[in-house]
Structure 1
Amino acid sequence: MIVAVGTKNPNKIRAVEDAYRLFGIPARVVPAPRPLTTPPQPVGLEAVLKGAVERAKAALQAVEKAEHGVGIEAGVVEAGRVHLDITIAAIVDVGGRTTIGFGPAFQIPPPFLSQVLSGVEMGAVAEQYFKRPSIGYREGLIGVLTKRRVTRYHLNLAAVAMALTPRLPHNSQLYLKP
């Protein structure tokens, strides 16, 4: 199966490859450009979800013979009185079916919050703060905060695995529309 993923980020591409492999689904993962309409830093659950779905749909359209399009979007959500960085994955197939999965979320450091809420990408804020280039393409902010015990790859992998769960053959009856 050809799986198009709406990103050039190696963390996301590897996470998609590994999530499909985890469930024994043979997949050739092909990167595709992310749509220009997605903001660099979505804020709010609906914006993060919309970004993931738009990436998935655009990837599916961009890659010839793709059967699935995968979009992974990280963004900011408010829970109680804290703001969290959450990763959402969407998988869209050629029949139009969309499945969604969330990865773990972590609390955004307060010194980053005002910039991130104003639309500055979390990776850019982290790079500036820690004086390290390309954090988002490497371990991600979570990787820096946890000393690489948990990385951006892990968050992406979990989100894609959760989005694949309704598509697993043994779950097909559970997720059919009545």
Structure 2
Amino acid sequence: MYGTGPLPRNGFPPGGGGPGVLVAVASLNPVKLEAARSAFSAAFGEVEVAGSEPPPGLAPQPMSMREILLGSSARASWACASVPGADYCVGIESGAVELEGEWYAATAATVRSRSGRQATGFGPAYPIPRRISSLMISEGLEMEEAMERLYGVPDLGRREGAVGLLSRGASSRLELCAEAVKMALLPFISPGDYRRRLAM
């Protein structure tokens, strides 16, 4: 039963999990590092996670799905370049997406293997309160900045996130980021079902 222990290791490096598996993450944000560790540990068991500075030139606040995907992919590539020898490289990017006149916070994670295979997954999205999205649009604020102005809580992006505050602790940014990484790992966990998707 997959729910009672580590997931099958098909598609992972020879020898399965353990400290020998190195996961590089293009971020020094402790939430993103822990999200990658949590997601990979569910599949591998124990892994080693190494963070690095994010790549230059990324949009500070992605405001479309395209920008979110570009950010997660660029981060994954940068992680591979920054941590030579990593078995897997991870880019996690969060941003805002407009759908039917409403704004939603969304998170994407891109995972790239040492061989160059790549897949992207998403975490749960949630609606952004209109007074927050209005500040983001009218003043060009990042969501974290808008939240701090209205709620007086600093540095949410490195802690529970806006979702943690809005859900009153029922969810957290860590959970959303970890789910995005887990979804990106599906083609590596079940490569036979995603053979074309993983083709280089």
Is TM (by shorter chain) over 0.5? yes
Residue 146 of structure 2, aligned match among 110, 122, 125: 125
Displacement of 1:25 in angstroms is: 4.8
How many residue pairs match? The answer is 176
SS in 2 for 1:176: helix
Is 1:175 paired with 2:197? no
Matches within 5 A, 1:95-114: 95-114=115-134
Write out per-residue CA displacement over residues 115-158 of structure 1, whole angstroms, 9 at most, x where no aligned residue: 32364221111112111111111110000001111000010011
Match of 1:94 among 114, 125, 140: 114
Deviations 1:61-109 (A, max 9, x none): 1012112110000011112221100000001122221100000001011
Unpaired stretches in structure 1, ≥5 consecutive residues = none
Whole-Å separation in 1 of the counterparts to 2:53 and 2:195: 31
* Aligned equivalent of 1:16: 36
Q: Distance in 1 between matches of 2:32 and 2:75?
A: 12
Larger CA deviation: 35-44 vs 111-120: 111-120
What amino acid does structure 2 have at the position aligned with 1:147?
R
For 2:32 and 2:136, locate their aligned partners in 1 and report how far apart those are by CA, in whole Å: 21
| Cα distance in 1 between the residues matched to 2:59 and 2:141 | 10
Instruction: Say if 1:40 and 1:120, in contact at 8 Å, map to a contact too.
Output: no
Which residue identity is paired with 1:54?
A: A
SS of the residue aligned with 2:162?
helix
1:74 maps to which of 70, 73, 94 = 94
Q: 2:185 aligns with which of 154, 164, 172?
A: 164
Structure 2 unaligned residues grouped into runs of 5+: 1-20
Q: Please say if residues 40 and 119 of structure 1, whose CA atoms lie closer than 8 Å, have aligned partners that are also in contact.
A: no
> Shift of residue 13 of structure 1?
0.6
Q: Where does residue 32 of structure 1 map in the other structure? A: 52
Q: TM-score normalized by structure 2?
A: 0.84
Which structure 1 residue ranges, 4+ long, deviate > 6 Å from structure 2? none
2:85 aligned partner, one-letter code: K
User: How far apart are the structure 2 equivalents of 1:175 and 1:11?
Assistant: 29
| Residue identity matched to 2:182 | A
**1:125 is aligned with what amino acid?**
A
Equivalent residue, structure 2, for 1:56: 76
For 1:20, the aligned partner's letter is F
TM-score, scaled to structure 1: 0.94
Deviation at 1:26, TM superposition (A): 4.1
Change (3 A) 1:2 1:141: same
In structure 1, what residue type is equivalent to 2:195?
L
